[in-house]
Amino acid sequence: MTPITRKTIPRRHFLRGLGGAALSLPHLDIMANTSDTAKAPKRMVCIGSNYGFVPDQMFPTHGGNNYELSPLLKPLAHMRDDFTVISGLDHGELGLGGHKGVHSFLSGVVSQSSGSFREKNISVDQKAAQFVGEQTRYPSMQLTTGSVPINLLSWSSSGVAIPPVQDLRAIFAALFQDPKKNKLNILKRAFNEEQSILDLVALDAKALQKHLGKDDQEKVDQYFTSLRAIEQRLTQSKAWLNRPKPKVSYALPEGSNEMDFIDRTPLYYDLMALALQTDSTRVFSFEISEFGRNSGGFEGVSKGYHQLSHHGKMPEYLQELSIVENFHMQQFARFQDKLKDIKEVDGSSLFDNTMSLIGSGMGNASSHSNRSLPFVLAGGGFKHGSHMKFEKTKDQSLPPATNIYTSMLQNFGLELDTFNTSTGTLTGLDLKA
């Protein structure tokens, strides 16, 4: 029997119609074996703890490449050259301290009052998601370990919080389970009806705007910005409705949502790795919050996470808190190892192309300080292996922490010089040659 050979086509193949019009094809499996192989895309994962990490346990004493690993960094010892520790930076005078400032972790911008923000409050993950657009089924996904998130990580450019999802079964279904035909038809009708409503509201708002003063017109402009964002999400989601979701061999354990914190948390990382591998999304934010409706399940831990974070340097509290914080660094290390084991079409690993950041908008929860925030950045093509220790001097002020995000966004592919409150990229955080 004559063997069946697979024909390949170049990545830049175009569909041509009458009159010379041309549309470029999306990336297809048939293109994978050509010499014109597409470079694997960049990904971004931002993990934020509501309660920070004990500074003495997180930050090494010395900076540079030859620093001694701190207790919380020891789970990452086997990949020492694959991550960077950054200390001494924060978001400046936030105006609000403690837990009320934690939501600024990924943006550098703090709420002036309830529901009110200064300009440029978009979080770094959402800036990256805007760049991805409709290339993936979900521009970004937001996850949380807690049933009631305390400090939302992801914020749109119009000051709207994007709530995370805790339900593991719902996350798995969104990523890998196709809706049944009757549900699919309901979703399509819902999209059409929602867009019709948005069109009508937009017409009413435009008519109203003619009779408003300058301040009110600005508020309506902000409203239109939010409206356009909703329309874009609806259109994009509708475009993906008829496309089958990827099939994976992974299955959640029975009763996953009812598991203790210690057993549930690794499952979020598993789903993130699968979603990145299947290109279902390229951007994640993951909020580490309270243990939720179940106990932590940690041996040797008898108190709640929030209670432990206000340790007041009491040895028994610090001992229990170290168990929880070490667990989080162990899971972060496990996640990096999973990414390293996943190979891309261009021969690189998923780790090589994924910037994974873990840290917090809380510098010291015990004193409610938002100063000297913890940052550990792994993978993504940066030169790693050092502790970037920033200290203020008489001659030089500290760069804003958002400079880290400018470097990350440039690496992600965005052409920008600053992000939110940043003054540029973070000097010393360079890409591999």
Residue 398 lies in a domain: yes
**Parts of the chain with a pLDDT under 70:** 1-37, 94-96, 111-120, 147-151, 181-207, 209, 215, 217-237, 292-295
Residue 62 lies in a domain: yes
Q: What is the DSSP string of 199-256?
A: HHHHHHHHHHHTT--HHHHHHHHHHHHHHHHHHHHHHHHHHHTTSPPPP-S--PPTTG
Residue 251 lies in a domain: yes
Structure tokens at 410: 């440039």
> 210 and 336: one domain?
no
> 109 and 219: one domain?
no
pLDDT score recorded for residue 97? 72
Task: Select from 219, 243, 267 the last residue of a domain.
Answer: 243
Residue 322 lies in a domain: yes
> 168 and 201: one domain?
no
> 106 and 156: one domain?
yes
CATH number of the structural domain spanning residue 331: 3.40.720
Residue 7 lies in a domain: no
pLDDT score recorded for residue 38? 78
Angle between helix 315-341 and 261-277 (nearest 10): 30
Residue 419 lies in a domain: no
pLDDT score recorded for residue 243? 85
Q: How many domains is the chain built from?
A: 2
Q: Which of 248, 253, 286, 278 is nearest to 169 (CA)?
A: 253
Sign, CA torsion 23/27/33/36:
positive
> 197 and 121: one domain?
no
Give the number of C-alpha atoms closer than 13 A to the C-alpha of residue 232, restricted to the C-beta side.
Answer: 14
Q: Which helix (H) or strand (E) holds 198?
A: helix 181-209
CA distance 405 to 380: 13
CA distance 48 to 145: 11
Residue 11 lies in a domain: no
> 165 and 71: one domain?
yes
Q: Which helix (H) or strand (E) holds 87?
A: strand 83-87
> 171 and 190: one domain?
no
> 156 and 290: one domain?
yes
> 99 and 58: one domain?
yes
Global pTM value: 0.82
Domain that holds residue 186: 179-243
> 159 and 185: one domain?
no
> 311 and 204: one domain?
no
Determine if residue 339 is left, alpha or beta; phi over 0 gives left, psi from -120 to 50 gives alpha, anything else beta: alpha
> 187 and 65: one domain?
no
